[in-house]
């Protein structure tokens, strides 16, 4: 049973919130009473559908398009969110992109673009929202990483490096922003989203078969973990990476 007042009075910015894991986070947090500042880049139809779903259940959601890797554009989106919804007290840094390719196909431009979205993006999002949290004396941040950060991925060199950077950055911000602001990360395994389309579909059954829980994750699985880490239920947890992979990757 969801506590519909758990996030009452909180404004949560979710980057990459139009679909997939981002949409699931928006829906779950709105169900807990949060006002959602949904950030996305260009999929207007998907963002509008997420907003419609939230409002159909009585929630509050406003849309703030901006490229999270473009600091001036994202700063403007944060200012608009602050003006319309109030100070931001929570952040889900979810926006990301990946391409599966051989090392021979990975050039510096592709590397830089992956870093811009997957590592610069969470950094910019934290930098632009943290002042609201500092002024309130309260804040909670969750960054989306990946199990690719924790295991070698020969055909995702840039993505794995960026997501490992997210884990390191999260830990540093957790110490830097304590004690009032908590910062954690979630590292999903294979999840039923559009990103799966970029993987070799021939190896997918084998990956599922070797996962102890014998299934793919769902966006809701990840969103529930994000909600826990944002909430006061995790009030003594900061600087941690929660692996949500059905046991495909196990850490101490």
Beta bridge mates, 144:
186
Share of the chain above pLDDT 70, in %: 98
pLDDT at 199 over 70: no
pLDDT at 146 over 90: yes
pLDDT digits (tens, 9 = 90+) for 87-142: 999 999 999 999 899 999 999 999 999 999 999 999 999 999 999 999 999 999 99
pLDDT at 182 over 80: yes
Please identify which residue in the block is written with the tokens 């996030």: 7
- Please report which confidence band the pLDDT of residue 252 belongs to, taking 50, 70 and 90 as the band edges: confident
Mean pLDDT along residues 180-186: 98
pLDDT at 172 over 90: yes
Q: What is the pLDDT of residue 1?
A: 81
Which residues are catalytic, by number?
A: 159
Mean pLDDT along residues 203-229: 94
Mean pLDDT along residues 35-62: 98
Q: Which domains does the chain have, with CATH numbers?
A: 11-244 (3.40.50.720)
pLDDT at 202 over 90: no
């Amino acid at each position: 049973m969801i506590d519909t007042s758990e996030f009452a009075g909180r404004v949560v910015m979710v980057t990459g919130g139009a679909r997939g894991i981002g949409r699931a986070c928006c829906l779950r947090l709105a169900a807990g009473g949060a006002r959602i500042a949904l950030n996305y880049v260009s999929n207007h139809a998907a963002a509008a559908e997420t907003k419609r779903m939230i409002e159909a259940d009585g929630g509050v959601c406003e849309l703030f398009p901006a490229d999270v890797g473009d600091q001036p554009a994202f700063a403007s989106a944060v200012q608009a969110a602050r003006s319309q919804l109030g100070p931001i007290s929570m952040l889900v840094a979810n926006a990301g992109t990946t391409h599966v390719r051989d090392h021979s196909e990975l050039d510096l431009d592709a590397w830089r673009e992956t870093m811009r979205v997957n590592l610069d993006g969470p950094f910019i999002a934290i930098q632009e929202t943290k002042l609201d949290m500092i002024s309130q004396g309260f804040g909670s941040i969750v960054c989306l990483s990946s199990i690719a950060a924790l295991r070698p991925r020969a055909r995702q060199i840039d993505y794995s490096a960026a997501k490992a950077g997210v884990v390191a950055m999260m830990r540093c911000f957790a110490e830097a922003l304590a004690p009032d602001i908590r910062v954690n990360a979630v590292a999903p395994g294979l999840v039923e989203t559009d990103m799966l389309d970029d993987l070799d579909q021939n190896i997918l059954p084998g990956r599922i078969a070797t996962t102890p829980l014998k299934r793919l994750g769902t966006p809701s699985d990840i969103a529930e973990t994000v909600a826990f880490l944002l909430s006061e239920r995790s009030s003594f947890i900061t600087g941690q990476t929660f692996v949500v992979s059905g046991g495909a990757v196990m850490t101490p």
